[in-house]
Structure 1
Amino acid sequence: MKKKKRGMAIVASSVLAMSLLGFSTSVHTSASTQTVSKNYLIAYSQSLPKNYLAEIKNAGGEVVRAMPEVGGVEVRSTNPNFLSQLKSSGTIVAANSERAYKLENGNPEGADGQPVDLQKDADGTYWSSQWDIRHLTNEGKSFAIESGGKRNAGGVTHKAVVGVIDSGIDAGHPDLKANFLGGKNFVPKGGYYGDVPEEKGDSSNVTDTNGHGTHVAGSIAGNGKIKGVGPDLGIRAYRIFDASGSAPTSPIVAAILQAANDGVDVINMSIGGFDSLKYYFEGTRYSDIADLLLWKRAVQYAVNKNVTVVASAGNDSLNYADKKSLTDYLNVNYGDENLVFSGVTVDVPGGVPGVITVSSSNKWSTNQLAFYSNYGNSFIDVAAPGGDNGPAYAQTGDLNQRDFTFRALSTWPRYLAPYFTMQKNYGYAYLHGTSMAAPKVAGIAGVIKAAHPEYTPAQVQALIEKTALDYGKVGHDELFGSGEANAYNALTGK
């Protein structure tokens, strides 16, 4: 069960976040009745059986989305006994109520009302303010080795493409438009539950209504006033969040499959949450096994198509290796007398095999992660600069001691209101979170693939880990994994 505030702000720190809504439901009313409709996920043993449509219909369900590549189906039903009637099928491995993520931007109140007045460099860029990109590219020297593509009179020939599964991208942003290669919108008309009228269901509309995806894209392939890790990498947008900031599991899985089928080289998912393998709601036992199975199958499908998959570790300050603490965390923060978590908790997609999971380092320490970052042995593969509020805040916890310039600077949709960290610089924003760390590693994977198109995902990951800066304890550790990923080192083999 993906739990609320996955990546959420801690003490109003405004870390961009994923959080869990409850059961995915919608209510349809008539003059005499009120019908509650729930969404479910079904994982079949292998492929979809020939009779799956009839089987679901007979149990009182309607197929919302079929995912034949992974034997999965999303279903909507008003039948309160849908699951019990459906489970009589011998070809179903798991079925459960579907969960929904919600993307949040933190709380811009109080001390967060002091924005940065960012000044341009002499060349009209913000390069001097990009401490993170400057660091991992060795002051831009890696660009000369591999930028991700070749520029010509007609634009850019992209040697590698990164799929951004997120809230969309501002395709016309001057720092992104040369590298934008289209994408797909998975949000249906009316949003996922019919309560977002501004959603028109246009599959080609990947307009970023939140800002998160545009910021991520800039860290990967920005090329203008700010630079990404690979300024000539191609980027494709797979929009999974509706205008309310919600997305259930199935469109995320579908987006992974679509990106893999489109032939991207790398997938970035600055998203995540928790699946619980056993919990009780109003005394009835449930699990999220179907969700977890489809996550695993989708990632493996992508890897089998030679796609490197990168995900953020999350911003809950949790030690993922301490399984009991994860379950306790869910109960303390989200459980009550009606909802009790008692089983193993799994982070998705960060805890899924085949994913490069990224923790967040900062500007000022080689021994401490950003205060919000999750960590854990056998969970973190590498770290990357995601930023934080600076050393003064880390030492005091005083909101008034925050310095936004220690966060990560990147692109922001020009048509949205300026993010609170920067009120005078339209189109750019300082954000922090593991959401900002993961795309740095996705960008590194992208330039590696551009330089070595023959590399498999395992080889890409091995090179990133081998050439990472050994921060924290010597060797692999629970905070930084193999170390802080570095583009210049990866391209030079150092």
Structure 2
Amino acid sequence: MKNKKRGMAMVASSVLAVSLFSFSTSIHTSAKTQTVSSQAVSKNYLIAYKQSLPKDYQTEIKNAGGVVVKAIPELGAVEVRSTNPDFLTKLNTTSIAAANIEKSFKLENGNPEGADGKPVALTPDSNGTYWSSQWDIRHLTNEGKSYAVESGGTKTTSGVKHKAVVGIIDSGIDADHPDLKANFIGGTNFVPKGGYYRDVPEEMGNPKDVTDTNGHGTHVAGSIAGNGKVKGVGPDLGIRAYRIFDANGSAPTAPIVDAIVQAANDGVDVINMSIGGFDSLKYYYGGTRYSDIADVLLWKRAVQYAVNKNVTVVASAGNESLNYADKKSLTDYMNASYADLGIRFSGVTIEVPGSTPGVINVSSSNKWSSNNLAFYSNYGNGFIDVAAPGGDNGPVYASTLDLNQRDFTYRALSTWPRYLDAYFTMQKNQGYAYLHGTSMAAPKVAGIAGVIKAAHPNYTPSQVEALIEKTALDYGKPGHDELYGSGEANAFTALTGK
């Protein structure tokens, strides 16, 4: 496989969603965990009960030295905080299926290198839009022809009547962005006051405040339902924002799976999760054996809950350039990534949520090749369902790996919060940015799923996925392959069969 340079993934300086293993402590500075000897170490735990939550679960947790942070009864799940180092061993395990230290995910906002490519100055087309710069959406929609078949909604005298809604579990949204405002229909903030680790004072804990403090969620939203200077796959789809990343870019598992439940209960048709990380079924820290079994179990329950409510779930495959079918390489990657924390991984490594049953897992294709994925994209037989354009740095960079040869116009152009600083790919903040990553690929598939649901409201998630895969462009090796899965998803072919 060409252009699989794992070390370049973070040098690319895109917004990439990756897993961050951390033991939460009582005091944090920025995004780094620090332990203060005068205070007891606090850890967050996930508990998955065998069935529903027992009537006395709060008493049992209290007796073991824990405090309930969040209960998710739909999943039989509880998030707990405890300073008791023996908390797990003191639990009454009769009714518990699994319990483990909670994992945390981190939005990585890469800093530009000194040798970075030149920022882009956006020049509008003659009609005032940036359509000519949206190579990815133009390709997916056959130069916009799919919009005439299904745009996701219909115009009315009072606005847009959305025929399908996509829930975006991410960093929030610039809800007043002119390209998104007409399609935004609400959302929920899961970030508590002070952030997850009480180190983000600007977090007020308002459940209605889905303001995007990172930019990632707004960019994803534009690829799904932008309708202005940039277009999404379904420019009339409704979008709901579920903010799970705090201003430091952190998000434990519990609020993410809770957001899946909430989105399903809200009646969305599709969920997009441009997030991902790794769970391990066996690792050692300080000589003690741990496992992420509860984490894996709750991902499965949450996705199944959504599917049972007729929700199609889409996720990004990740940006570590790893072959998921090579299990040893995954364990080696984990050990190399977390060696400085004294953690040793020896069990099976599982990517979540992409590999979770019921999820459409998306790898990242690019503009210039139908045989090579974007250099950062994860891949693997049995792991990838379909690919979609997530962008990269262009063919010159691919052949030279010269940082000066990066062409940002090969990345994906979409909406960016107008109140944030310009992303480094742009000369100034015009409300748009070029990003790349599987985070940019997944929302294209979520948008395709959305317009399919708009056209066929009775389709089940399995029918939506089957149509996406059947009509995907057969890139790479003929048939299903390790890079593209069933092929590169396409809105026009999905809606027309052509």
Fold-level match, TM-score > 0.5?
yes
CA contact (8 A) 1:9 1:15 kept: no
Distance in 1 between residues matched to 2:72 and 2:305, nearest whole Å:
12
Deviates more, 1:448-457 or 1:88-97: 88-97
After superposition, the Cα gap between the structure-2 partners of 1:174 and 1:354, relative to the gap in structure 1 and judged at 3 Å, is same
Instruction: Give the Cα–Cα distance (whole angstroms) in 2 for the partners of residues 446 and 12 of structure 1.
Output: 30
Deviation for aligned residue 1:426: 1.6
Q: Is the contact made by 1:8 and 1:19 (CA closer than 8 Å) also made in structure 2? A: no
Contact 2:472 2:487 in 1 (8 A): yes
Q: Give, in whole Å, the separation in 1 of the partners of 2:25 and 2:105.
A: 13
TM-score, length-normalised on structure 1? 0.96
> Partner of 1:3 in structure 2?
none
How far 1:46 moved relative to its partner? Answer: 1.3
* Letter in structure 1 aligned against 2:151: S
Aligned to 1:148, which of 138, 148, 152?
152
CA deviation profile, 1:45-101 (whole Å, cap 9, x unmatched)? 011111111110111111000011111000011111111001x32110111111111
TM-score, normalised on structure 2? Answer: 0.95
Paired residue for 1:84?
89
Flag the 1:352–1:32 CA change in 2: closer, same or farther, 3 A: closer
After TM superposition, list the pairs within 5 Å mapping 1:136-175 onto structure 2: 136-175=140-179
Match of 2:354 among 328, 350, 354: 350
* Structure 2 unaligned blocks of 5 or more: 1-5, 29-33
- Aligned residue for 2:308? 304
Question: Partner of 2:104: helix, strand, or coil?
Answer: strand
Alpha carbons of structure 1 residues 425 and 120: separation in structure 2 relative to 1, 3 Å? farther
8 A contact 2:117–2:405 mirrored in 1: no
Residues 8 and 315, structure 1, Cα contact 8 Å, conserved in 2 = no
Per the alignment, residue 22 of structure 2 pairs with 22
Contact 2:9–2:375 (CA<8 Å) still a contact in 1?
A: no
Given that 1:8 and 1:14 are in contact with CA atoms closer than 8 Å, whether structure 2 keeps it comes out as no
Is 1:75 the counterpart of 2:80 in the alignment? yes
Give the superposition deviation at 1:113. 6.0
- 1:34 to partner: Cα distance: 1.6
Root mean square deviation, CA, Å:
1.7
Deviations 1:10-39, CA, capped at 9 Å, x for gaps: 33442423230411222499x995222111
Equivalence for 1:36: 41
Aligned counterparts, 1:82-481, within 5 A: 82-86=87-91, 88-112=92-116, 114-336=118-340, 338-481=342-485
Q: Is contact 1:215–1:412 with CA below 8 Å preserved after alignment?
A: yes
Contact 2:65 2:87 in 1 (8 A): yes
**Which one-letter code corresponds to 1:316 in the other structure?**
E
Structure 1 residues 386-437: Cα deviation after superposition (integer angstroms, max 9, x where no partner): 0000000000100011000000000000000011111234200000000000
Q: Is the 8 A contact 1:8 1:104 kept in 2?
A: no
Hey, what's the Cα distance between the residues in 2 that align with 1:24 and 1:356?
Answer: 31
* AA at the equivalent of 1:14: S
Aligned amino acid, residue 339 of structure 2? G
Distance in 1 (alpha carbons) for counterparts of 2:187 and 2:380: 34
AA of the residue aligned to 1:77: S
Separation in structure 2 between the aligned mates of residue 182 and residue 39 of structure 1, nearest angstrom: 30
Give the SS at the match of 1:424. coil
Does the 8 Å CA contact 2:128/2:229 hold for their aligned counterparts? yes
Deviation, structure 1 residue 126: 0.1
- Mapped contact 1:180–1:234 kept (Cα < 8 A): yes
Contact 1:335 1:341 survives alignment (8 Å): no
Equivalent residue number for residue 58 of structure 1: 63
Instruction: State the distance in 2 between where 1:18 and 1:360 align.
Output: 15
Cα pair 1:8 1:18 within 8 Å, conserved: no
1: CA distance between counterparts of 2:142 and 2:59?
59
Alpha-carbon distance, 1:110 to partner:
1.3
C-alpha separation between the residues in 1 aligned to 2:109 and 2:248? 12
Q: Distance in 1 between matches of 2:428 and 2:262?
A: 38
Aligned letter for 2:295?
Answer: D
Q: Report SS of the residue matched to 1:90.
A: helix
Task: Indicate the residue corresponding to 2:31 in structure 1.
Answer: none
Equivalent pair of 1:331/1:340 in contact (CA under 8 Å): yes
SS at match of 1:364: coil
Show CA shifts across 1:362-395 (max 9, x none): 0000000000000001000000000000000000
CA distance in 1, matches of 2:328, 2:389: 29
Distance between the aligned counterparts of 2:157 and 2:350, measured in 1? 49
User: Quick one: distance in 2 between partners of 1:427 and 1:487?
Assistant: 25
Opposite residue 229 of structure 1, the aligned amino acid is V
Maintained 8 Å contact 2:472/2:488: yes
1:184 CA drift (Å): 0.1
Equivalents in 1 of 2:98, 2:15: separation in Å?
A: 34
CA, structure 1 residues 444+318, in 2 after alignment: closer, same or farther (shift >3 Å)? Answer: same
SS at match of 1:57: helix
Report if aligned partners of 2:15, 2:107 keep a CA contact under 8 Å in 1: no
* Residues 172, 243 of structure 2: 8 Å contact kept: yes
- Tell me the CA shift for residue 311 of structure 1: 0.1
SS for the counterpart of 2:48 is strand
**Deviation at 1:335?**
2.2
Say if 2:423 and 2:429, in contact at 8 Å, map to a contact too. no
